[in-house]
């Protein structure tokens, strides 16, 4: 049940994430105009960071759930109770909101030319910082620090949990048991691969 709960939240975040850019893209195609207002750009960056961060945190929460289910199967229902599952999702949401707010405040303190040509299909934070007229040192330091802390941190956690999972699965004597244990990760592994593969592919 915890995995289904986390997957439903992941699906919600996925829908919200694509909804931050698709409506504006459709308007651009319909009107043949690529113009976006300053406020619209900041808003788009806020929600992209919010839902991207929340997605990232949900992936580490799901990895922890799989770790508990396979490495501690007798205590699974006790550890991953509904209260803890709800709390993990809530904490993920709060961290994402605070992170997005910080990014937006850092961008809003910068000055930009009256007209900008953003070399991207949406208002991406890194591209926007490159186009600023004012000093961006603080923005770059904070951005790289947060990326390492909130981006690479969960990825390291996911890799660590899967290393423990693989060692536990290898200890299962029957092939059927190994298959059953590994199949419980089938919904999580593609999501992790797609998310981090896409993030690493963004220039």
**195 Cβ partners below 8 Å, 6+ apart?**
55, 56, 59
**11-15, 29-33, 98-102: which range is least confident on average?**
29-33
- Give the whole-angstrom CA distance, residue 99 versus residue 125: 13
**26-40, 98-112, 114-128: which range is least confident on average?**
114-128
Per-residue pLDDT at 120 = 67
Question: Cα angle vertex 17, ends 112, 163, to 5°?
Answer: 110
Please choose, from the candidates 3, 5, 8, the residue with its C-alpha nearest in 3D space to the C-alpha of residue 76. Answer: 3
Per-residue pLDDT at 50 = 93
Other Cβ atoms within 10 Å of 83 Cβ, number: 8
- Give the whole-angstrom CA distance, residue 59 versus residue 162: 12
Q: Tell me what the mean pLDDT of segment 122-144 comes to.
A: 82
Q: Is the pLDDT of residue 88 over 90?
A: yes
**71-80, 119-128, 190-199: which range is least confident on average?**
119-128
Q: Which residue has the higher pLDDT, 91 or 193?
A: 91
Q: For domain 2-201, is the CATH number 3.30.70.1290?
A: no
Domain borders along the chain are 2-201
């Amino acid at each position: 049940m915890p995995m289904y709960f986390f997957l439903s939240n992941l699906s919600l975040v996925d829908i919200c994430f694509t909804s931050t850019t698709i409506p504006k893209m459709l308007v651009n195609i319909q009107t043949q105009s690529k113009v976006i207002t300053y406020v619209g750009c900041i808003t788009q960056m806020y929600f992209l960071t919010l839902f991207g961060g929340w997605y990232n945190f949900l992936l580490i929460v799901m990895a922890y759930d799989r770790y508990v289910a396979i490495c501690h199967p007798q205590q699974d229902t006790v550890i991953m109770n509904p209260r803890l599952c709800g709390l993990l999702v809530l904490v993920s949401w709060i961290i994402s909101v605070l992170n997005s707010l910080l990014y937006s405040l850092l961008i809003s303190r910068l000055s930009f030319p009256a007209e900008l040509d953003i070399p991207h299909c949406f208002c991406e934070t890194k591209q926007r910082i490159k186009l600023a007229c004012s000093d961006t040192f603080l923005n770059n330091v904070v951005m790289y620090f947060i990326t390492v802390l909130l981006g690479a941190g969960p990825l390291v956690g996911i890799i660590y949990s899967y290393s423990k999972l693989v060692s536990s699965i290898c200890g299962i004597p029957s092939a059927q048991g190994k298959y059953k244990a590994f199949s419980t990760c089938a919904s999580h592994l593609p999501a992790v691969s797609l998310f981090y593969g896409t993030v690493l592919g963004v220039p």
